[in-house]
């Protein structure tokens, strides 16, 4: 029991469980590995104008934005323990950013308010990923761009089969993360034209976890 008078044994918002305290730190460490940071660097600096970042997390993309090209930056993230780390990251950076704690599937932002939407290592775990991408399209101005860097479905049939088999268990172990989402198809299905798209393996470990989908989608 925590000291807040909650006698049913459940964690409360002011006194999170050990697991709830550990998970955000673990996500931050894994997603902040140097090999992952190098993938972020390929796509984040391309964002410009009024930028919205879906899955802001602990703010790991902040160092890669071009301060001279970004007019405003709004991060979107649910209350999963990471916004606390994200706010600390904003305080340490020169770039000005706001963080909205809400779902990417139903953002409070108005239509056509952004020139760029950035999403990195988040489409794998958003429960309704199609809704989130449609929301990204909604808030983009005409001709706006979605910049994405994700892991997902391998182009190799035997690896994809393994990903499909492992995903149900992996989702339970890794906070809802899917190994088998076809990122390019999802982006196109939400009404974007792929102007750049690469699928590649990072080269460390198995393609099962390291197949990357990196690209730019233009709002149609």
Q: Which superfamily is assigned to 18-219 in CATH?
A: Vaccinia Virus protein VP39 (3.40.50.150)
65-118 pLDDT tens trace: 999 999 999 999 998 878 888 899 999 988 899 999 999 999 999 999 999 999
Domain regions of the chain by residue span: 18-219
Place of tokens 């479905």: 153
> Rounded to whole angstroms, how far apart are CA atoms 164 and 153?
9
138-165 pLDDT tens trace: 999 999 999 999 999 999 999 999 999 9
pTM, to two decimals: 0.86
**pLDDT the model gives residue 206:** 65
> Rounded to whole angstroms, how far apart are CA atoms 202 and 191?
28
Q: Answer whether 215's CB lies under 8 Å from 156's CB.
A: no
**pLDDT the model gives residue 1:** 34
10-54 pLDDT tens trace: 444 444 444 455 565 566 556 657 888 899 999 999 999 999 999
- Residue 20: C-alpha distances to residues 14, 16, 58, 87, 129 (Å): 11, 6, 15, 18, 23
């Amino acid at each position: 029991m925590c000291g807040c008078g909650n006698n049913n044994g459940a964690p409360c918002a002011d006194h999170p469980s050990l697991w709830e305290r550990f998970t955000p730190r673990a996500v931050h460490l894994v997603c902040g590995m140097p090999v992952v940071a190098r993938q972020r660097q390929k796509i984040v600096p391309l964002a410009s104008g009024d930028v919205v970042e879906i899955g802001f997390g602990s703010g790991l993309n902040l160092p890669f934005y071009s301060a001279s090209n970004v007019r405003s930056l709004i991060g979107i993230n649910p209350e999963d323990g990471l916004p606390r780390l994200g706010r600390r990251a904003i305080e340490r950076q020169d770039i000005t950013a706001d963080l909205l704690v809400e779902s990417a599937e139903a953002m409070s932002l108005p239509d056509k308010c952004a020139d760029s939407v950035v999403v990195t290592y988040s489409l794998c775990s958003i429960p309704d990923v199609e809704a989130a991408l449609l929301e990204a399209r909604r808030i983009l101005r005409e001709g706006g761009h979605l910049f994405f860097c994700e892991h997902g479905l391998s182009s190799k049939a035997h690896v994809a089969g393994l990903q499909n088999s492992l995903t149900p268990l992996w989702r339970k172990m890794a906070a809802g993360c899917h190994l088998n989402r076809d990122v390019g198809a999802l982006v196109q299905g939400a009404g974007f034209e792929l102007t750049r798209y690469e699928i590649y393996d990072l080269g460390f470990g198995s393609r099962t976890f390291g197949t990357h989908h990196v690209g730019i989608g233009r709002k149609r």
